[in-house]
Amino acid sequence: MQYIDTYRSPLGSITMASDGTSLTGLWFDGQKYFGSTLSANYEVKSLPVLDMTKRWLDCYFNGQVPGFMPPLYLNASPFRMAVWEILQNIPYGTVVTYGEIADRVAKQRGLKTMSAQAVGGAVGHNPISILIPCHRVIGNSGSLTGYAGGIDKKVRLLKLEKVDMKHLFLPKKGTAL
């Protein structure tokens, strides 16, 4: 059985999902791939893991680095799991490029190169937004591209983390922030 609960963030409503023990999903309502790990049958319920996730989000949206992490459960291909592992190790307040992640995955797999586009697909399908910080990934040129929750939310999350935005720009407009 799966369970969901809702969190009201400063950026909009967030739906959290759990298998009863671990966090299995976290999405801004209406985002691309919303509910990708949810089965058709789920129940709205308050659970300790979802309460812990709410406390984590409270810390985060108050501009603090949460000193704990709720248990997470991810189920995907080895490639996606490798990318999501790298995402989990991007420090608060910093950004990395899709190309840098591709280079890390290639090195882990003993390959010369890895497609940054393939990495982008894995990043985009991350089912646990914010806690697995896919918003900290940018294009090689500094473009703020590819956030399933929307570029506006990506910008606000990076600003909340006090990321230096001087060299980053919006993808279609080419405008600096």
Which positions are catalytic? 134
DSSP-assigned letters across all residues of 11-60: TEEEEEEESSSSEEEEEETT-TTTTTT--S-EEE---HHHHHHHHHHHHH
Q: Rounded to whole angstroms, what are the CA distances from 57 to 11, 66, 78, 125?
A: 12, 8, 28, 20
Contact 70, 52 (CB under 8 A): yes
Pair of tokens at residue 112: 């010369």
- From CA 151, how far away is CA 115, in angstroms rounded? 22
- From CA 46, how far away is CA 32, in angstroms rounded? 25
Q: Rounded to whole angstroms, what are the CA distances from 118 to 16, 22, 68, 106?
A: 26, 27, 30, 12
